[in-house]
Amino acid sequence: MRSLAAIAVALALTAPAFAQDNEVRIGVLYPTSGPAAKSGAEGLEAIKLAYDIVNGSYDIPLPYAKTAGLPNKGGIKIRLIIEDHGGRPERGQAIAERMITQEKVHLLSGAFHSAVAAPASQVAEKYGIPFVTGGSEAPTLTERGFKTFFSVTPTTEDIARDFFAFLDDLRKEKGVPLKNLSVIHVNDNWGSSLAKAAEGGYKKNGFDKLTTISYPAQTADLRSEVLRLKNDSPDILLQASFDSDAILAVRTYQALGFTPKGILAMGASFASPDFMKALGKNADYAFSHTKFDPTLIEKRRAAAAVNKLYEQRAGRTLWDVPAREFTAALVIVDALNRAKSLAPEDIIVALRETNIDGADTIAPYKGIRFNEKGRNVLATGLITQIQDGKHYPVWPKDLSAKPVVFPAPGWDKR
Amino acid sequence: MIYGQVLVDGLIVGLMFALVAMGLSLIYGVMNIVNFAHGEFMMLAMYFCFFMWALLGLDPLLSTPLAAALMYFVGVGVYRLLIRHVLQATMVAQIFATFGLLLFIQAVANFLWKSDARTIPVSWSTGHFQFAGLFFNGPELVAAAGALFTAGALYWFINRTETGLALQAVAEDAQAARLMGIDSDRMFAIAWGVSCAAVAIGGGLLSTYYAITPLSGARWALPAFVAVAIGGFGSISGAFFGGLIIGVVQTAGGFFTSPNYKQLFVFALYLAIVFWRPYGLLGRR
């Protein structure tokens, strides 16, 4: 009995330490284990860097870098509460619930996997706590019409729109007819959203046949999938895969002699350095939709300095996932600073009034402005192509660094 | 020609399933324990081959036998340190022991080697060729041949050697075997060693073309469990044929309908077999 009382007293004493008013608590749900652990760990590094820059004082041409803490809020600091969900929706949901009710976070962000962001943001909506995603791309997330959900990243629909515009340019430029389209995707809501966006758009964009194939994440083999693709022999393949699945897929294409004219991938896998290390020449000529490329370092005034700091931490240059998360973190900071108070409703109002110019970010976005569904209407990306083991932007034209190689040469001609 | 390719591909992946399944079945057959961590031993062997290649430049085809030898002792060690203590325990305790081992090995791998997808880009078997209109991938073909060879060796060991026969005797009736002078504790340790060595060969052969992550073993373990269930728990040859059947059924089923449903055929077949023969194709009561 006495020990129980002691515990109660101890809890009563420590509780205020968890919920102080002289700090802003942001809950970060992110995968550092599971199928996207690698990309997750590198994205998380960028999130931590962003808040360190805001909390400290850095000489970087970014808003909130020079001042320590949030200037409008008397220099109040931000504390991150980070937890790994391993890509599992039920875990993400439980973490969100706990962060809101126990840790009293002011705002949630994450979750990389759209499949995790969906249930976690549902919890946030229930409690009226804002949820900002920097990298979960499924358009269904914003289609729910939540009042508390904000998506800074381009969604799959934006990505498909960019893909189709790029393919149309290719058709005109190279004079190659592109009629037959296939989609291969991991069978979660993120992967399926690419298939759905393709279904909605392929006819309008000059294709007359579409096949979609899904597979479970962490599958041991992709043979029947690839044999099916080979039988359909599409001109263009759109792909949504996680890291090691993407490597397995390309090795299976090569093994079975499946050679589409172009592979267009969304997400982190084809852009990750592991992918190129694993596949060497066979990684060449694949296209990725990405939200960062080193060539942006010249076009965005803060990118070089941020990249340097990021390299010191992660041992790797910025790429798609970290750049997007970094950008989203600064959107959060901007809203927190402008908010009338740290009450969730005020933060939500401030988020809704966000109006950031693309030049003030390190992303290729035209800017950040949310529509009534919380979707960033100014989100766009780049399309890069791997040539000689490096990514080069090839679209849009004004950011292009190298001419496109299309159609891709066969596997044995590399 | 595409039909031939479907069959060949089904058999190639089926042989790998078979190899993983046989080791699993061996442990179950001898001591009635389901080793949930089976795939993790495979993952460890993949990392071993990766590091032998990365640090010493040793080709995975050379380091695979080394991995098998090493994993034999790891298997014996796991038996002596962990499994022996739960042999007399309830089934739930045994499940927790091997499932806990799975989580432990995965977590250690994640801690030590992070989740980078590591790969061995080029090995001796790297290459492609076409034969009779069929596409073949060198590493996969070598892996399938290695799996077939290991399966044969395992079959020979179980049925033709004295130790193998002793193992079978222990599997049939441990107490009676002990009365005949067979050291069942030693037999159990050998079963674990051989099982881990077999799955290590699978891991080594796969390391020539699979990305290696802490989760690489787990993706092979589930089909292996189904193969064991189809073939009959405890039957080594049942596990072999179970693996082949799964490989062909999922590749062909996926191809002829839609790959979205490939698992459906495997599990439908499993259900059918469970209804028809609850102990699996070659299983005994």
Residue type, A148: T
Residues of B with CB below 8 A from A248's CB? 210-211
What's the CA gap between A351 and A339, in Å, rounded? 8
What's the CA gap between A365 and A154, in Å, rounded? 8
pLDDT the model gives residue A18: 44
Is A72 domain-assigned? yes
Nearest chain B residue (CA) to A242: B117
Q: State whether A223 and B9 contact (CB < 8 Å).
A: yes
Residue A228: which of B17, B119, B255 has the nearest Cβ? B255
Best probe of the B interface among A218, A227, A274, by most B CBs < 10 A, is A227
- Considering the domain architecture, whether residues A408 and A281 belong to the same structural domain is answered as yes
Q: Is the pLDDT of residue A21 over 80?
A: no
CA distance A370 to chain B (A): 35
Nearest chain A residue (CA) to B3: A227
Go through chain A and tell me how many residues it has: 414
- Considering the domain architecture, whether residues A110 and A233 belong to the same structural domain is answered as no
pLDDT the model gives residue A137: 87
Q: What are the DSSP calls for A266-291, one per residue?
A: ESSGGGSHHHHHHHGGGGTT-EEEES
Nearest Cα to A256, choosing from B83, B2, B202, B101? B2
B115 in A contact zone (CB under 8 Å): yes
B178 in A contact zone (CB under 8 Å): no
pLDDT the model gives residue A38: 85
- Considering the domain architecture, whether residues A267 and A189 belong to the same structural domain is answered as yes
As beta bridge partners, residue A383 has A289, A395
**Residues A139-183: tens digit of each pLDDT:** 889 989 899 999 999 988 889 999 999 999 999 999 999 999 999
pTM of the model: 0.79
A-contacting residues of B 185-244, CB under 8 Å? Answer: 209-211, 213, 215-216, 218-220, 222-223
- Packed helices A303-314 and A37-55: angle between N→C axes, nearest 10 degrees: 120
What's the CA gap between A267 and B46, in Å, rounded? 27
Instruction: Provide the percentage of residues in chain A whose pLDDT is more than 90.
Output: 67
pLDDT the model gives residue B37: 95
pLDDT the model gives residue A3: 53
pLDDT the model gives residue A20: 52
Residues of A with CB below 8 A from B17's CB? 220
What's the CA gap between A264 and A302, in Å, rounded? 29
CA distance A118 to chain B (A): 23
pLDDT the model gives residue A46: 96
CA distance B216 to chain A (A): 8
Q: State whether A278 and B251 contact (CB < 8 Å).
A: no
The mean per-residue pLDDT over the stretch A223-237 comes to 93
Q: Is the pLDDT of residue A218 over 80?
A: no
**Residues A91-105: tens digit of each pLDDT:** 999 999 999 999 999
Is A259 domain-assigned? yes
**Residues B124-135: tens digit of each pLDDT:** 888 888 888 888
Cis check for the bond before A35: say yes or no (omega within 30 of 0): no
Is A29 domain-assigned? yes
- Considering the domain architecture, whether residues A268 and A219 belong to the same structural domain is answered as yes
Q: Is the pLDDT of residue A227 over 50?
A: yes
Q: How many CB atoms lie within 10 A of CB A371?
A: 10
CA distance A190 to chain B (A): 16
pLDDT the model gives residue A149: 96
- Return the exposure string of B201-238: e unless at least 16 CB atoms fall within 10 Å of the residue's CB, then b: bbbbbbbbbbbbbbbbbbbbbbbbbbbbbbbbbbbbbb
- Considering the domain architecture, whether residues A190 and A279 belong to the same structural domain is answered as yes
- Considering the domain architecture, whether residues A206 and A305 belong to the same structural domain is answered as no
- Considering the domain architecture, whether residues A12 and A79 belong to the same structural domain is answered as yes
Domain range holding A47?
2-154+297-368
Cis check for the bond before A111: say yes or no (omega within 30 of 0): yes
Collect all residues from A whose CB is shorter than 8 A from any CB in B. 32-35, 37-38, 41, 187, 213-216, 218-221, 223-225, 227-228, 230-231, 243-244, 247-248, 251, 254-257, 272, 274-275, 277-280, 411-412
- Considering the domain architecture, whether residues A347 and A254 belong to the same structural domain is answered as no
Q: Which stretch of DSSP H or E encloses residue A44?
A: helix A37-55
**Residues B213-268: tens digit of each pLDDT:** 998 998 898 889 999 999 988 889 999 999 999 999 999 998 888 888 888 999 99
What's the CA gap between A365 and A296, in Å, rounded? 11
The mean per-residue pLDDT over the stretch A4-19 comes to 48
Contacts of A89 (CB under 8 A, 6+ apart): A113, A115, A116, A118, A119, A120
Instruction: Provide the percentage of residues in chain B whose pLDDT is more than 70.
Output: 99
Counts of helices then strands in chain A (DSSP H, E): 14, 14
Contacts of B27 (CB under 8 A, 6+ apart): B33, B34, B35, B38, B191, B192, B195
B53 in A contact zone (CB under 8 Å): no
- CATH topology for the B2-114+133-276 domain: ABC transporter involved in vitamin B12 uptake, BtuC (1.10.3470)
Sketch the domain layout of chain B as residue ranges: 2-114+133-276
Task: Let me know the angle formed at the C-alpha of A135 by A127 and A148, rounded to the nearest 5 degrees.
Answer: 20
**Residues A290-336: tens digit of each pLDDT:** 888 887 777 788 888 999 999 999 998 888 899 999 999 999 999 99
Residue B137: which of A218, A224, A255 has the nearest Cβ? A255
B263 in A contact zone (CB under 8 Å): yes
Is residue A11 very low, low, confident or very high in pLDDT (cuts 50, 70, 90)?
very low
Residue A244: which of B130, B211, B259 has the nearest Cβ? B211
What is the largest distance, in Å, between two alpha-carbon atoms of chain A? Answer: 84
Interface A-B, measured as beta-carbon pairs within 8 A, has a size of 117
Residues of A with CB below 8 A from B119's CB? 247, 274, 277-278
In tens digits, what is the pLDDT along chain B, a chain of 285 residues? 788 899 999 999 999 999 999 999 999 988 889 999 999 999 999 999 999 999 999 999 999 999 999 999 999 999 999 999 998 899 899 999 999 999 999 999 988 988 778 888 888 888 888 888 888 888 889 999 999 999 999 999 999 999 999 999 998 888 899 898 999 999 999 999 999 999 999 999 999 988 899 989 988 988 899 999 999 888 899 999 999 999 999 999 988 888 888 889 999 998 998 898 888 888 765
- Considering the domain architecture, whether residues A254 and A208 belong to the same structural domain is answered as yes
Best probe of the B interface among A224, A241, A254, A272, by most B CBs < 10 A, is A224
B2 in A contact zone (CB under 8 Å): yes
Nearest Cα to B168, choosing from B31, B30, B35, B281? B30
Q: What is the CATH number of the domain that holds A112?
A: 3.40.50.2300
Is residue A5 very low, low, confident or very high in pLDDT (cuts 50, 70, 90)?
low
Report yes or no: B81 and B51 within 8 Å, Cβ to Cβ. no
Is A375 domain-assigned? no
Residue A220: which of B110, B122, B223 has the nearest Cβ? B223
Q: What are the DSSP calls for B15-82, one per residue?
A: HHHHHHHHHHHHHHHHH----TTHHHHHHHHHHHHHHHHHHH---HHHHHHHHHHHHHHHHHHHIIII
Q: State whether B119 and A230 contact (CB < 8 Å).
A: no
- Considering the domain architecture, whether residues A286 and A337 belong to the same structural domain is answered as no
pLDDT the model gives residue B93: 93
B252 in A contact zone (CB under 8 Å): yes
Is residue A17 very low, low, confident or very high in pLDDT (cuts 50, 70, 90)?
very low
- Provide the CB-side half-sphere exposure for B26 (13 A, CA): 31
Q: What is the 3-state secondary structure (H, E, C) of B153-178?
A: HHHHHHHHCHHHHHHHHHHHCHHHHH
Residue type, A186: V
**Residues A359-413: tens digit of each pLDDT:** 889 988 889 999 999 999 999 888 999 999 888 999 888 778 899 999 999 888 8
> Do β-strands A356-357 and A287-290 pair in parallel, antiparallel, or remain unpaired?
unpaired
Residue type, B122: V
Q: Is the pLDDT of residue A47 over 60?
A: yes
Residue B117: which of A224, A230, A244 has the nearest Cβ? A244
Report yes or no: B41 and B68 within 8 Å, Cβ to Cβ. no
Residues of B with CB below 8 A from A258's CB? none
Go through chain B and tell me how many residues it has: 285
Question: Into how many domains does chain A fold?
Answer: 2
Nearest Cα to B110, choosing from A304, A89, A86, A198? A86
- Considering the domain architecture, whether residues A265 and A315 belong to the same structural domain is answered as no
Nearest chain A residue (CA) to B116: A38
What average pLDDT does the structure give for chain A?
90
The mean per-residue pLDDT over the stretch A215-226 comes to 88
Instruction: Provide the percentage of residues in chain A whose pLDDT is more than 70.
Output: 95
What average pLDDT does the structure give for chain B?
91
Coil, strand or helix: which one is A383? strand
